[in-house]
Structure 1
C-alpha cells in the first residue's frame, strides 16, 4: 500500500512569543515571525505579499481572509478553521496542516514543498495549476478537490477520501491510490499512465480508457 514521503518538518526558534492580535502587525509590517497564536480569530483580512515565518497557530479561525502571494515558511496549523482562505500564488514551504478545516480553501497557482495535510476536512480544496513537491496527504477528507493541471513530484496520498476529485491534465505517474477512495474522480484518461491502483479501482477507471468489461 501507499507510503508517505520523508519530508522536511517546520523549523522553530526555541521559544515562540505568544500573541493575541496579529492583524495590525500583518497590516503594518507585512510579516509575522516566531509567534504562537492560539484560541483566537483573524477576521476580514485582505493583504497581498505578506510573510509568515516560524509560527504556530492553534485553534485559530480565519474568517474572510485573503493571503494572496503569501510566503508561508516553517508554520504549523493545528485545529484551525481555514475554510475559504485564499493562499493563491503563494510560496508554501515546510508547513503542516493538522486536523484543520480547509473547506474551499484556495491554493491555486501556488508552489508547495514539504507540506503535510493530516486529518483535514478539505472538501472542494483548490490546487489548480499548482506545483507540489514532497507533499503528504494522510487520512485527509478531500471530496471534490481540484488538482487541475498540477505538477506532482513525490506526492503521497494515504487513507484519503478523494472521491469526485478532478485530476484533469495532471500526470499521476507513480501516485499510489490503492488505499484511497477515488470513486467518481474526473480526468480524461491520459493522466492515469503509470499510476498505481488496485484491481477493483482499475475496473472503475477502465471507463476512461474506452475498455468494456463483461
Structure 2
C-alpha cells in the first residue's frame, strides 16, 4: 500500500528515492524542492504543483503525473516516455526541459510556455492541439509525431520534416519557413 499525502506544502526539501517511492501525492505543492538524480518508483502526483524545483536526471519509470504543473523548474534529461501513460497530463511554464524525452507519449493539449526544449525527443508523440508559446526548440526531434492543430507561432529554432509528421491544422509563423524547408537545402530570404 502506498503512503498517501494530500494538500501538503513542501518547501526546500531534498527528497530521496526512498521517501518518494510508493507514495501518492494529491493536490500537493512543492516549492524550491530537489528531486534531482532520483529513481522514483510506483508513485503518483495528482493535481500537484512544482515551482522552482530541480528534476534533473530523475528516473520516473512508472510514475503517474496527472494534471500537474511545472513552473520555473529545471527538468533536464527526464524520460517522461517511461512514466505511467494513464491520464498523463503535465503543463510546463518557464522551465528548462533540455535533453528530456517524450518518445511516443500521448500529450494532446499540453502547454509549454516560455520553455527551453533543446534536443528534446518528441518522436512518435501525440501533441494534438498543444501549444509551444515562446519556446526554444533548437535540435528538438519531431518524427512520426502527431502535430495536428499544434500552435508553433511564437516558437523559435523549430526544424521539422513536414513529410515525416502529421501537421494538418498546425499553425506556424513565416519566420519558421527555413526550419520547415531545411531538408530541401533551399535558401529562404
TM above 0.5, one fold? Answer: yes
The offset of 1:58, in angstroms, is 0.6
Indicate the structure with greater strand content.
Answer: 1
2:99 alignment partner in structure 1: 124
* Secondary structure at the counterpart of residue 131 of structure 2: strand
1:42-62: CA deviations, max 9, x gaps?
A: 134487654221111011111
TM-score (norm 1): 0.75
The offset of 1:35, in angstroms, is 1.4
Report the more deviating stretch, 105-114 or 145-154.
105-114
CA contact (8 A) 2:160 2:180 kept: no
Of the candidates 71, 82, 99, which is equivalent to residue 98 of structure 1?
71
Whether 1:64 aligns to 2:37 is yes
1:81 alignment partner in structure 2: 54
Counterparts of 1:133 and 1:167 in 2: how far apart (Å)?
A: 15
Higher relative contact order (CA 8 A, sep 6+): 1
**Long gaps (5+) in structure 1:** 1-27
The offset of 1:94, in angstroms, is 1.6
1:165 alignment partner in structure 2: 140
The offset of 1:196, in angstroms, is 2.0
Which has more radius of gyration? 1
Distance 1:68-1:165 versus aligned 2 partners, 3 A rule = farther
Paired residues in the alignment total 185
Counterparts of 2:122 and 2:156 in 1: how far apart (Å)?
A: 15
Counterparts of 2:21 and 2:109 in 1: how far apart (Å)?
A: 26
TM-score (norm 2): 0.84
The offset of 1:130, in angstroms, is 1.1
Whether 1:154 aligns to 2:129 is yes
CA contact (8 A) 2:129 2:151 kept: no
Of the candidates 159, 162, 167, which is equivalent to residue 193 of structure 1?
167
The offset of 1:90, in angstroms, is 3.6
* Secondary structure at the counterpart of residue 14 of structure 2: strand
**Long gaps (5+) in structure 2:** none
